[in-house]
Structure 1
Amino acid sequence: MDESEPASTFPQLFAEIVAARGERDALILANATLTYRELDERSARMARALLASGMGKGARIGLLAPDGALWLTAFYAALRIGALVTPISTLAPPPELAQIIRTSDAQILIGVRRFLRHDYADELTRALPGLGEGGAGALRLLGAPHLRSVWLDDAAGLPWARPVEDLLARADAPDAPDAALLAAVEREVSPGDDAFVVYTSGSTAAPKAVVHGQWAVARQPPVLARYFLLTGADRTMPLLPAFWMGGIAAALQVLSTGGTLVYPPSPDIEDVLDMVERHKVTYVVVWHLLAKLRAAALARGIDADGIRGMGGPSRDEHGWIIPPRLRASLLGMSESFAPHSAEPVDRRMPDGKAGASGRAVNGIERRVVDPETGAEVPAGQVGELQLRGGALMTGLYKVDRREVFTPDGFYPTNDLVRIDADGYAFFAGRTGDMIKTNSANVSRLEVEAALNALPQVALSLVAPLPDPESGEVVAAAVVPAPGTAPTEDGLRTALRDRLSSFKIPRRIVFIAHDDVPRTATGKVRLFDLAELITSRGRPEPSPERGASAAG
């Protein structure tokens, strides 16, 4: 690679940072600290172990672990050898685990056995019928036909899993790939190779799998770091899980600057603040629970205003406070590798640009079209945003490109925006069925399907409600099944085995069939549905009301 050119693959980017910042802290955990040199050695050992196991360019690797040393080591190792790695949600219930492992074609699964209240040994056996009956040899599962092995940090008593340490030991065998072979493998990783898959709720009931390539992994994080004023001197704590795009982007931004990642042992606010204080965190990346985190920090006597991201006032390059209405409301998505329209966080918006998301990021192309005709609309008019180029995803995994992109290569986002003559985008709404809550996308159709599968539910309708902390919250109107009297708490409890926690409705009201707001052609009017949910109190239905409503 021409030394004047920026890195275009992860192996190139990682090697540059290790060479420049080798002895600096790369990762701080509650019980360990790794320098960039040590992280290089750990990920190299994992990479050689994967090569010794038959993995290589294009291999499919699943990663089920919370933010920490195992996650970072395995993720970086997979990227170094050109494999396609899929971080799996640690919140996923067994049906969602099964769906992700199967549809991602994972050949090898690396993960932890326990995290918070989850026992993944139990949840994986529930997710994958036949798993508990097999041995640790090559797996043969009809529900996950490509999966051949599972490696957990604790495999004691599990005949179908092996310890991660045994996987790593393969790198130390006499005939294992050595450092020279790993370097040769890394040189064959190209900017056009696919790098990772992130699952996000789609416009259908099933989550969609967004694929990003090596070029985006290497080129987008350094650009985003400049927008967020992230430097090599920062100690950054991302509180967005690394199975979401926001968490992946944050970790890679820190890497691209040679800064330090700080991960708490759990998302518990007390654990978070312990790490903030002990390790002098300078930057917290958090989009949810910010108000609670800030209040708890202030109660402890922590200078929350001195830690970026903790809710203190934003300041421009001169140190003057920027009013919230004059800050850019960054607009992005998993498909665009975080923000596609933004301004640096220390930039005061010009006159007439209040409320704007900003201009195009890192060479991405944007156009606004009429949602009905697909014709491009004049500057300043509202239409559907379409994206092309830059760090846009390479596609949706296993979905024909013709179903994802327009014939000329643009991706229809379902976002309604207007872009003025100066290139500033203003968000206006969404065309589809998406709900964005705490930076995560939720398909209302997926939530409706889970509710409708419950015996107490005759019909459910899901809509977003605005929320100052989360952006939007998931809410539902439910027609009870005849003779039943469901409660909000009861339905939420029943959904825990079917949906990730962030997808479970925060508000559920009970209605009759005749209450459903519909158009003359029978379609549900979502805006009116949201108003209906907001206007309803919280009385629980009686069995009689449920029966009459369903009849």
Structure 2
Amino acid sequence: MHATEPASTFPMLFGEVVAARGPHDAVVTTRETLSYDELNRRSARMARALLAIGAGKGARIALHANDGILWVTTFLAGLRIGALVSVVSTLCTPPELAHILRNSDTQIFIGVRRFLRHDYAATLAEALPGLSEGRAETLRLAGAPYLRSIWLDDAEGLGWALSVEDLLARADAADAPDAALLAAIEGEVAPSDDAVIVYTSGSTSAPKAVVHSQRNLARHPPELAKYFLLKPGDRMLPQLPAFWLGGMAMAMEVLSVGATLVYPDTPDTEAVVDAIQRLGVNRVNSWGDLLVKLRQAAAARGVDVDAIVGLGPFRDADGELIPPGLQVNMLGMSETFAVHSAEPLDHRLPDDKAGSSGRTVGGYERRVVDPGTGTETPPGELGELQLRGGALMSGFYKVDRSKAFAPDGFYPTSDLVRLDADGHLYFVARRGDMIKTKAANVSRLEVEAALRALPGVDLPIVVGLADPEFGQRVVAAVVPKEGAALSEDALKATLKGVLSSYKIPRQIVFIGHEDVPRTATGKLKLFELADMISAQIGEARPAPSAAQSSSV
């Protein structure tokens, strides 16, 4: 590799950072601090342990843990040996977890047993019928046919799992893979190797499995760090969890520049404020209602919110406050490994660029096409954003590329945007069935499928309503079956067993079939239905612009 060429695999990038920042803090929690040297040793030990149980390039590893030392060391270990790591949400219900483990072909599962109110041993047992009769390291389950071993931080009393400490001990055995073998294996990791799967709600009822390559994880985070103005001395607390792409991308940005990653004990707002006060945090990455609540709680505890970048209002390069309308609204998605359009955080948009998401980031090519004809639109005209290059995903796991990409390699994002002659992108709306709530994508079809499976539900229709804190709020209208007596509280309570909390509708109203607005061909008029729901819950909705009315 040419001396000036940036690292193109994670092992290469991590080796460079450790060499430059070895003794400096890498990951900090209230219980433990790891320097880059220690993070290197811990992740190497986990990597050698994985090699000892037969993992290697392409091994399918599921990581199911809250943000912290175990998550970081295991994630990095998987990347170092060229494995394909599926990051699993700690909010997963048993049906969601069962789908992920089967769809991702998971062979090795590593995770925590308990977090907050969750007992993940019980979740696994419910997700995988027959698991309770299984034997550790020799699992044979039809529901997850490739799964062979489960390792938890606490495996006491579980005949089908072993402890993470037992796994790490494999690296210390006399015949264990040594440092020289690990180095040789890291040298064989290629930029094109698939590295991570992130599950995100898609346009169908099943979550999409977004696959990113080693090159994306090595090249894009250092590029994004420039826009977030990250410096080696920063101590960043990402409030978005690392199992979501936004949290993972920020963690990788921090590590790519040799800064410090700070994790609170729990995502509870008070615990986050504690971490800010005790652990020297000077940067926060948050969004929407999470940020609003955190800012209020921090101010109430006497924290100087203006001194913490991302918590207080943004300032330009001269230290002057940037008006909200002139702050850049960075735009990205799981498929693009976070941001694809941006300006630096301290950039004050010109008055004629108010509302812009910025220009292209990291080598992405962008074009805007008419959703009906597929032809490119003139500058400033509304159309669907398509992307190519940059850190675009390899594809969706187990989905043919032809079903995800255009013949020339562009990816249709379903984002309706305008792109001006100067390259500034303006987001208008989502095309189709996605609802963006609390920094997460929710498929309305997935929520509808869960509602439809409940007794007494004849027709469920889910939409998103604009919300100043959530971005969009998931709501639903339900037509009961004849004679059924349904209640909003009962439906929500039942959904808690099958959907993650952020996917459950915040309001459910009941209507009749005659109330459902449809076109002459029987298609749902979702915007009119959203107006109907708003009226029933006593809210007013803004009318769509002419461009939105004619194009969406």
Q: Same fold (TM over 0.5)?
A: yes
1:204-252 Cα shifts (integer Å, max 9, x gaps): 0000000001111011111111111111111111111111001100100
Structure 2 distance, partners of 1:271, 1:486, is 38
The answer to whether the aligner puts 1:205 opposite 2:208 as a matched pair is no
The answer to whether the aligner puts 1:134 opposite 2:150 as a matched pair is no
- The Cα shift of 1:336 comes to 0.5
Structure 1 distance, partners of 2:464, 2:80, is 40
Structure 1 distance, partners of 2:26, 2:537, is 50
Is the 2:61–2:83 contact (alpha carbons within 8 Å) kept by the matching residues of 1?
Answer: yes
- The Cα shift of 1:136 comes to 1.1
Counterpart of 1:289 in structure 2 is 290
Counterpart of 1:308 in structure 2 is 309
Structure 1 distance, partners of 2:3, 2:360, is 27
The answer to whether the aligner puts 1:2 opposite 2:2 as a matched pair is yes
AA paired with 1:392?
L
The answer to whether the aligner puts 1:236 opposite 2:231 as a matched pair is no
- The Cα shift of 1:482 comes to 2.8
1:435-487 Cα shifts (integer Å, max 9, x gaps): 00111110000000101111132211000000111111111011123333322
The runs of 5 or more residues in structure 2 that have no matched partner are 539-552
The runs of 5 or more residues in structure 1 that have no matched partner are 539-551
Counterpart of 2:549 in structure 1 is none
AA paired with 2:149?
S
Counterpart of 2:416 in structure 1 is 416
Structure 1 distance, partners of 2:290, 2:210, is 26
AA paired with 1:245?
L
Counterpart of 1:533 in structure 2 is 533
**Paired residues, number:** 537
- The Cα shift of 1:511 comes to 1.2
AA paired with 1:256?
S
Counterpart of 2:381 in structure 1 is 381
Structure 1 residues 175-214: aligned runs within 5 Å:
175-214=175-214
Helix, strand or coil for the counterpart of 2:478? Answer: strand
Counterpart of 1:106 in structure 2 is 106
AA paired with 2:363?
G
Counterpart of 1:344 in structure 2 is 344
- The Cα shift of 1:515 comes to 1.1
- The Cα shift of 1:137 comes to 3.5
- The Cα shift of 1:134 comes to 1.2
Structure 1 residues 247-326: aligned runs within 5 Å:
247-287=247-287, 288-310=289-311, 312-326=312-326
Structure 1 distance, partners of 2:310, 2:473, is 22
Helix, strand or coil for the counterpart of 2:417? Answer: strand
Is the 2:137–2:150 contact (alpha carbons within 8 Å) kept by the matching residues of 1?
Answer: no
Q: Percent sequence identity over matched residues?
A: 66
Structure 2 distance, partners of 1:293, 1:367, is 37
Counterpart of 2:219 in structure 1 is 219
AA paired with 2:327?
R
Counterpart of 1:143 in structure 2 is 143
AA paired with 1:300?
R
Helix, strand or coil for the counterpart of 1:472? Answer: strand
Structure 1 distance, partners of 2:349, 2:274, is 36
- The Cα shift of 1:292 comes to 1.4
Helix, strand or coil for the counterpart of 1:289? Answer: helix
Is the 2:30–2:279 contact (alpha carbons within 8 Å) kept by the matching residues of 1?
Answer: no
* TM-score normalised by the chain length of structure 1: 0.96
- The Cα shift of 1:490 comes to 1.6
Structure 1 distance, partners of 2:523, 2:217, is 41
- The Cα shift of 1:345 comes to 1.0
AA paired with 1:135?
R
AA paired with 2:249?
A
Structure 1 distance, partners of 2:290, 2:242, is 17
- The Cα shift of 1:319 comes to 1.1
AA paired with 1:343?
E
AA paired with 1:231?
K
Counterpart of 1:492 in structure 2 is 492
Structure 1 distance, partners of 2:404, 2:484, is 42
Is the 2:56–2:82 contact (alpha carbons within 8 Å) kept by the matching residues of 1?
Answer: yes
Counterpart of 2:17 in structure 1 is 17
- The Cα shift of 1:173 comes to 1.0
- The Cα shift of 1:261 comes to 0.8
- The Cα shift of 1:2 comes to 2.2
AA paired with 1:405?
F
* TM-score normalised by the chain length of structure 2: 0.96
Structure 2 distance, partners of 1:20, 1:74, is 22
1:387-446 Cα shifts (integer Å, max 9, x gaps): 100000011111000111011001011111110111111111121100001111100000
Structure 1 distance, partners of 2:353, 2:484, is 52
Structure 2 distance, partners of 1:534, 1:280, is 44
Helix, strand or coil for the counterpart of 1:527? Answer: helix
- The Cα shift of 1:274 comes to 0.8
Counterpart of 1:51 in structure 2 is 51
The answer to whether the aligner puts 1:469 opposite 2:461 as a matched pair is no
Counterpart of 2:159 in structure 1 is 159
Structure 2 distance, partners of 1:185, 1:6, is 20
AA paired with 2:508?
I
Helix, strand or coil for the counterpart of 2:353? Answer: coil
- The Cα shift of 1:269 comes to 1.1
- The Cα shift of 1:512 comes to 1.4
- The Cα shift of 1:304 comes to 1.1
AA paired with 1:386?
Q
State which drifts further: 77-86 or 343-352: 343-352
Counterpart of 1:548 in structure 2 is none
Counterpart of 1:84 in structure 2 is 84
